[in-house]
Structure 1
């Protein structure tokens, strides 16, 4: 077993034992399940009302759910990934490096001929495998529940789109995992290591999109991307800050993957921005210096 493989395996096992990620995991999976149940109840209630209205001759319009894509029921998962999934990724990243600093594992490992980039890369690989497992479970729940709602097994095309959406979610969570790892390495206190990335997440999720779109903060919890304001200072702010609106780009790309024809914009641009975010964060992580990793935490 290579050093990289051993490090990734150890990180995977250690992350599974942490209590806070377990709580966030339970909340995330629970919300995905609840979203499916809500979608099913909405379908049943609306269809029941429509059937009675149609039978009474009060309407000739088709059932509003008759032309809805099966993946419509997965739309709200976008918000759960942005809110709960991103926080889970941050906590995983912070605890990954803080754990090694508190136990002086960095000192022990880096006293051997092990490159910092290799060790941090192994830890990141373990965390990415853990997150991939969470998303795979969520995808299975979504696939099963949507099939139950529509009354038939999802087609291969819809299944591929659903898997593509969760692959996109994995890419979206990557920068937040790295952000947590970096603050865990660079912060002097454990509380600061957890607080700083959460503040950055809130700025990226709410402040930056609001400055460029003048959208109400509550509307940013909608899975549909916010529409940029035309003219004035908000349009200028959107041109400058638009590339930094990572969550809005995730919404944009997710809408395209899930087949939402009502959303406009370039999904390719959004994908490029997400890859660029992940690439830049990865470079910063892998260039972390040995002395920085071995710095002690303040008591």
Structure 2
């Protein structure tokens, strides 16, 4: 086996042994499995309230949940990807970046025919393949859950859109893998390596959208993009500056279009471009990491 393939294989095995990523993985898979059932319970609750109001003559409007599409039941999955999935990616990346530094095996590994850039690229590839497998399993579970809730298999077009959602999630989460790896490669301690990317994640997902919009903070936990920010005043300026950097909102916007949310407007091109740009920047910084940084002493 050549050094590249051996590194990829070793990374897959090592990532599977770590307990914290295993815990986050179990939570992520579990929440994906129950996502459709949570959506179904929400629909039932609203329908009961509607039927009660209609029975008392308080409304003549049609039930807003009377005929929701099958993809409606996948909307909560978007939030689980933003929260649990991103944390899983960060922790996995940190563990990968820290593993050789803690074991002090880097010099031995690099005696093989593999440059530091090639070695780091192989490690990132191994994590990427493992994450792809996790998301593929999540997609199948989500499809099965939706089928169980609706009583029928979604149409081929809906299955294709659901597959596209998890493919987009893979690209989105790879940036957080890269963020975790960079912290693991450069931080002076394991605690700092975990804390720094989690702070960056919170800024990207929560702080930047708040700076660029006037929405209530709780609305950021909705699986759809918030209303457009006011086009005047301070939010007109901050929205233009922070909008492209709000990676979570870009992901939610593209996801809402894929899931055919009636409130979604615009196109997917801008959001996908931003996600790819973040990923390209993260991967570039990883492969540019030199041997000296990889051998930096830890102070745990």
TM-score of the two chains, using structure 1 as the length reference: 0.93
Aligned residue pairs: how many? 299
Q: How does 1:84-123 map to 2 (within 5 A)?
A: 84-123=84-123
SS of the residue corresponding to residue 118 of structure 2 reads helix
Name the residue aligned to 1:41.
41
Q: Does 1:282 align with 2:292?
A: no
Shift of 1:103: 0.6
Shift of 1:261: 2.7
Task: Give the whole-Å Cα distance in 2 for the aligned partners of 1:212 and 1:52.
Answer: 40
Q: Is the 8 A contact 2:165 2:258 kept in 1?
A: yes
Per the alignment, do residues 214 and 46 of structure 1 end up closer, same or farther by CA in structure 2, a change over 3 Å counting? closer
Q: Does 1:244 align with 2:245?
A: yes
Flag structure 2 segments of 5+ consecutive residues without an equivalent.
none
Name the residue aligned to 1:29.
29
Name the residue aligned to 2:144.
144
Name the residue aligned to 2:222.
222
Shift of 1:238: 1.2
Q: How does 1:193-208 map to 2 (within 5 A)?
A: 193-208=193-208
My pick for the range that moved more, 58-67 or 130-139, is 58-67
Flag structure 1 segments of 5+ consecutive residues without an equivalent.
none
Task: Give the whole-Å Cα distance in 2 for the aligned partners of 1:58 and 1:192.
Answer: 57
Name the residue aligned to 1:298.
299
Q: CA RMSD in A?
A: 2.0
Deviations 1:249-299 (A, max 9, x none): 000110111111311233210110111111111111111111111222124
Q: How does 1:59-208 map to 2 (within 5 A)?
A: 62-208=62-208
Q: Does 1:2 align with 2:2?
A: yes
Task: Give the whole-Å Cα distance in 2 for the aligned partners of 1:85 and 1:210.
Answer: 21
